Amino acid sequence: MEKTLEEIASLISGELIGDGSIRIKGIAGIEEAEPGELSFLANPVYRAYLEKTRASAVIVGREIDKAKIPLIRHNNPYYAFCKALEIFTIKKDLPEGIHKSAILGKDVRIGKGVHIGPYVIIGDRVQIEDRVTILAGSFIGDDSVLGEESFLYPRVTIREESLIGKRVILHPGAVIGSDGFGYAREGGVYHKIPQVGKVVLEDDVEIGANTTIDRATLGETRIGKGTKIDNLVQIGHNVSIGENTVLAAQVGISGSTRVGKNVVMGGQVGLGGHIKIGDNVMLGAQAGATKSIPSNTIVSGYPAREHTKAKKIEACITLLPFYVKKIRELEKRIKDLEKKV
């Protein structure tokens, strides 16, 4: 597939500067791009490559207005890159139908345009809406619902009574609705608490590979609309996550914690149980929150503190060896002075 630069600029709503007749055959990173390819510059760190790149054109932000090659200027170059990549990505449509090795329970309802791959197991009374794709080896428990245009990669497990919204993407090994980690201690023994709640994934949620979202003890564990969760994340029972929140790999959220809208969590963030994270909060990588965090706050470190304060503390810790040496020198000088007195 090839497109002219003018066509691409129009499709991604960008401003073209330069020769629009240049033909583009693909997308590549600014360092690796070859003639005939379109690249992008979203991070200022790579601005020096704008003069070195072999790309035929580059998508840039509004702050850049000239270069040795044609440009497509956009308010959000990273988003524009995303849209351009879609143009050159050929999607393979899977055929409608149910593979002969799939096992379906009683009273399963299947919509139009559904693809069910090899060795899929679907429990009783499951509802699968239009244009859902379920790839090999996945399991859908009794009384679950899969919203239209949802896509399940191989080996996804959805336990009973889970509600999956529209256009949800579940990557390989994701587990939705596993038992929450709940035990009552009596007589020196831990007794399992039945986990009888459910999981709700709202529309446009994406769950990474080998991520686990536990079902509620009672009620529901809910992931809000448009939220994106990376690989290897653990979401405990009865957790609620608001809309358009992003969780990077290895985040762990303990039971009954409430996370607001538009929250960003870096890798390996840990949240204690029964706390509240407000809207628009950012938690730096490996931050550990044991208390609630108000909205519109940036935190980092362990325990999680306001980011500016955390950086000052870290700077002081870095200087500790110097201060220890200085204190020892001062102690020695004081002892020497005391001897003279």
* Percent of the chain whose predicted confidence (pLDDT) is above 90: 93
Q: Check residue 65 and give its pLDDT.
A: 87
Phi-psi map region of 279: left, alpha, beta (phi>0 left; psi -120 to 50 alpha):
beta
Nearest to 316 by CA among 324, 144, 146: 324
Q: What is the dihedral of CA 173, 177, 181, 185, to 10 degrees?
A: -140
Distance (Å, rounded) from C-alpha 303 to C-alpha 288?
5
According to DSSP, residue 179 is labeled: P
Q: What is the pTM of this model?
A: 0.91
Split at pLDDT 50, 70, 90, the class of 66 is confident
> How confident is the model over 77-85, as a mean pLDDT?
95
Residue 18, pLDDT above cutoff 90:
yes
Task: List residues bridging with 155 in a β-sheet.
Answer: none
**Positions marked active-site:** 237
Distance (Å, rounded) from C-alpha 53 to C-alpha 51?
6
Identify whether the C-beta of residue 242 lies closer than 8 Å to the C-beta of residue 224. yes
Indicate the CATH number of 97-309 among 3.90.1150.10, 3.30.1330.200, 3.40.50.1820, 2.160.10.10.
2.160.10.10
Phi, psi (5° rounding) for residue 253? -120, 120
> How confident is the model over 188-208, as a mean pLDDT?
98
- 101-140 pLDDT, tens digit per residue, is 999 999 999 999 999 999 999 999 999 999 999 999 999 9
Amino acid letter, 156: V
Q: Check residue 43 and give its pLDDT.
A: 84
Task: List residues bridging with 289 in a β-sheet.
Answer: 271
Fold assignment, 3-88: 3.40.1390
When the pLDDT of each residue in the chain is averaged and rounded to a whole number, the result is 96
